[in-house]
Amino acid sequence: MSFSSGSLAVFNRSITDYHASDNVDTPVSNPFPVKSIDYYLYLKNWIDTVQWHLEDIIRDPDIDPVKALAIKRRIDRSNQERTDLVELIDSYFLERFKSVKVSPDATINTESPAWAIDRLSILALKIYHMSVEASRTDVSREHLTSCRGKLDILLMQREDLSQAIDTLLDDMAHGRKYMKVYKQMKMYNDPELNPVLYGRNGK
């Protein structure tokens, strides 16, 4: 099984597990061995899935402003957790390919493997939810036709992205590509880099 196929299987399990309760406060129950790559992939997608639904909730035009602010801050924390997990997954690939002899003419990819897998996780969520929309019985034929057309495009994207990920990993395994990991330097969460925070703290 290719890495992308295995990842999608984990993502789809996470999505199915979440929707058994469909509640953003459901605690994660990760079925994979702790610290295994599947454990991190499942956790990554669970975070994505919860955040997907938080983004839905916060767009309710009648939401209480206090609740909306609490959700916005929860989304901020979720984004940081997501970034941390992507970097952790990239560490897995750094370890996996550390002994590969890199070709003198090897090139670097536009994104690291884990950030491509991050997009695959989000794509799995889009496909799940578009499939739901494309199967509704309480909407117009136009709605169904539109959603089914979008679903076809998403499925094509999944095929293309999966192939690109597997090709990248094969290139890295044979030294044709190499990777660097640039830690995400998010400034708005850092009290020393966000002027609103350090300005307040200096008062």
What residues are paired with 19 via a beta bridge?
none
What's residue 97's pLDDT?
Answer: 96
User: Domain residues of the chain, as ranges?
Assistant: 3-191
What's residue 186's pLDDT?
Answer: 62
Cβ pair 6, 89 in contact under 8 A:
no
Cβ pair 41, 12 in contact under 8 A:
no
- The residue-averaged pLDDT of 1-21 equals 97
**CA atoms within 13 Å, Cβ hemisphere of 192:** 1
**CA atoms within 13 Å, Cβ hemisphere of 147:** 18
Interval 135-158: pLDDT, tens: 999 999 999 999 999 999 999 999
Interval 104-121: pLDDT, tens: 999 999 999 999 999 999
